[in-house]
Amino acid sequence: MSDTPSILFVCLGNICRSPMAEGAMRKLAELDKRDIQIDSAGTGSWHVGEAPDRRAQATALKHGVDISNLRARQVAPEDFHRFTHIVAMDRNNLSELRRMKPANATAELSLMLDHAGGPGGRDVADPYYGGAEGFVETWRDVMEGAAGLLAKL
Ligand code: 4NP
């Protein structure tokens, strides 16, 4: 048994928000010299096996975080036992996770921006169909959520 926290970040496609959240948390954990298992996944299957969206990769890289080696995967039932925390990027994905959650699941489910302070229930907006500026906002949101979560672990 280990006390190492393990976090799964979840969005819809696992090519924009959740890989950016994974990269942000890896960076913060490294700076803080914290031993944390970090992964990401999507509730949807359309992009399984793909690298993060180019715009997500470019935005993270601007902040010194290389997420080019990540590959999209779909959330699996065993994730609810493998991870101590499963963090959804928006309320739709949180609802989907609650629907999928096995009865004996051990992972704690939460919403990313509920770790950031401010009003509860806010979504990390889906940047996929928008322009580059949406990804700037995504990076800011995932850094705030990741920093807040890290402080609680
Ligand atoms: P993500 O963004 O959930 O942040 O990875 C999306 C990526 C792809 C799609 C939707 C959202 N899609 O519909 O293909």
Kindly give the distance from the C-alpha atom of residue 2 to the centroid of ligand 1, in angstroms, as a whole number. 33
Q: What is the mean pLDDT of residues 66-78?
A: 98
Cβ–ligand 1 distance for 130 under 6 Å, the answer: no
Ligand 1 centroid to Cα of residue 18, in Å, is: 10
- What does the pLDDT read at residue 3? 75
pLDDT at residue 1 in the model: 41
Residue 13 has pLDDT above 60, yes or no: yes
Ligand 1 atom 9, closest CA: 13
Under 8 Å between Cβ of 52 and 71: no
Distance from the CA of 11 to the center of ligand 1, in angstroms?
7
Q: Is 16 a catalytic residue?
A: no
Tens-digit pLDDT profile for residues 114-123: 999 889 999 9
Place of tokens 């806010």: 122
Query: Ligand 1 within 6 A of 9 CB?
Result: no
Q: pTM surpassing 0.95?
A: yes
Average pLDDT over the chain reads 96
Instruction: Say which amino acid occupies 39.
Output: D
84-108 mean pLDDT: 97
Ligand 1 close to Cβ of residue 142 (< 6 A)? no
26 is catalytic: no
Ligand 1 atom nearest the C-alpha of 20 is: 4
pLDDT at residue 2, as a whole number? 53
pLDDT tens digits, residue range 14-71? 999 999 999 999 999 999 999 999 999 999 999 999 999 999 999 999 999 999 999 9
The count of other CB atoms within 10 Å of the CB of residue 146 is: 27
Residue of 8, 7, 11 lying closest to 125 (CA atoms): 11
